[in-house]
Amino acid sequence: DAKTTQPPSMDCAEGRAANLPCNHSTISGNEYVYWYRQIHSQGPQYIIHGLKNNETNEMASLIITEDRKSSTLILPHATLRDTAVYYCIAPSLIQGAQKLVFGQGTRLTINP
């Protein structure tokens, strides 16, 4: 897997946009960038993924730099329920199946 680097923790005010950065300078050309989050003691939840272009869905937006060495996950209007650990991952393939390796992630705290 391409190694990803994230800040260990971030704070954001409720109602504001939360911007979570991720560095993945060793990502290869066919590796996607995925974001998952884990709310306390629950299974991780898929948020969004992208390859080259910016992506948006009902949960978040993903901005990938042109050189693909970094990306930013944007939660446009953070709520208290967005408090979680956010993981940025660039999985590789094992015989066709994804190998998702989780790092420490970023612990995002949304403050009222």
Partner 1 sequence: ETGVTQTPRHLVMGMTNKKSLKCEQHLGHNAMYWYKQSAKKPLELMFVYNFKEQTENNSVPSRFSPECPNSSHLFLHLHTLQPEDSALYLCASSQRGGLGTEAFFGQGTRLTVV
Question: Among 70, 84, 86, 105, which residue interacts with partner 1 (rule: CB under 8 A)?
Answer: 105
Query: Binding residues for partner 1, how many (CB under 8 A)?
Result: 28
Please report where in the chains the tokens 């709520």 appear, as a residue: 79
Residue with tokens 């990306």: 71
Q: With residue 97 as reference, give the H or E element that holds it.
A: strand 97-99
- CA distances in angstroms from 3 to 28, 64, 92, listed in the order given: 11, 16, 11
Does 21 engage in binding with partner 1 (CB under 8 A)? Answer: no
Choices 2-10, 15-23, 38-46, 62-70 (CB under 8 A): range interacting with partner 1: 38-46
**Contact stretch for partner 1 (CB under 8 A) within 3-11, 18-26, 65-73, 86-94:** 86-94
Is-contact 16 78, C-beta < 8 A? yes
Sites for partner 1 among residues 40-79 (CB under 8 A): 41-46, 49, 51
The closest of 44, 37, 18 to 86, measured between CA atoms, is 37
Q: Return residues touching partner 1 (CB under 8 A).
A: 30-32, 34, 36, 41-46, 49, 51, 91-105
